[in-house]
Chains A and B, each alone.
Chain A
Amino acid sequence: GAVVSQHPSRVICKSGTSVKIECRSLDFQATTMFWYRQFPKQSLMLMATSNEGSKATYEQGVEKDKFLINHASLTLSTLTVTSAHPEDSSFYICSAKGLTYEQYFGPGTRLTVT
């Protein structure tokens, strides 16, 4: 199946700093990438949808100035959490979709803000 990677897998940062998470589709071209957040014992919540070369579409309640998304190529999308605070600590997961229906997920990034 299609492979999606994320980097880093874990990151700890101080409150007020910014963190960038990379999502790459390794063996297919992703026309669309999605970013999700998952809190403990809860399901995945979609944060934003990004198409290559265009601005991301954010879900209601997600601050676009706080969660910056860039989808610069058909294999790479980045999520930058700006001025992170402890409440931003969560498990962030990306997914990628090509021309078929299936979405393939990355392994996730555990963000801890101290």
Chain B
Amino acid sequence: SQKIEQNSEALNIQEGKTATLTCNYTNYSPAYLQWYRQDPGRGPVFLLLIRENEKEKRKERLKVTFDTTLKQSLFHITASQPADSATYLCALAQSPNTGTASKLTFGTGTRLQVTL
């Protein structure tokens, strides 16, 4: 059966450290993968998208890697801050065609807590 798993339900790290979140999938052939941030009672906020033929993407303090052999994506937040505390979701899409609807399937999420 198809499954998307995010490494842990919760991750606690100290301010200034790098947070690394994992997204593993089975029985998918994703065309691309997206990472979102969700705060309590709010909709997800788009962070980064990485395509199947890309190994790494960066945006400011964020970095995403995508290994289709390992069937895994890693999401890194460097120099983490208490304001980064939130739930982070990975989502896979299988359709490669931007002209058609591409359904996203979400992982269970990892709740990140950055402490002082």
Contacts and interface: CB of A to CB of B under 8 A. Distances in A.
Given A6-B43, A34-B103, A105-B44, A44 B34 contact: no
Interface residues of B, number: 25
Contacts of A93: 43-44
Contacts of B49: 101-102
Contacts of B91: 103
Contacts of B51: 101
B101 interface: yes
19 contacts: A34-B101, A34-B103, A34-B104, A43-B108, A44-B44, A44-B89, A46-B104, A51-B101, A95-B43, A100-B98, A101-B34, A101-B49, A101-B51, A101-B98, A101-B102, A103-B91, A105-B46, A107-B42, A108-B42
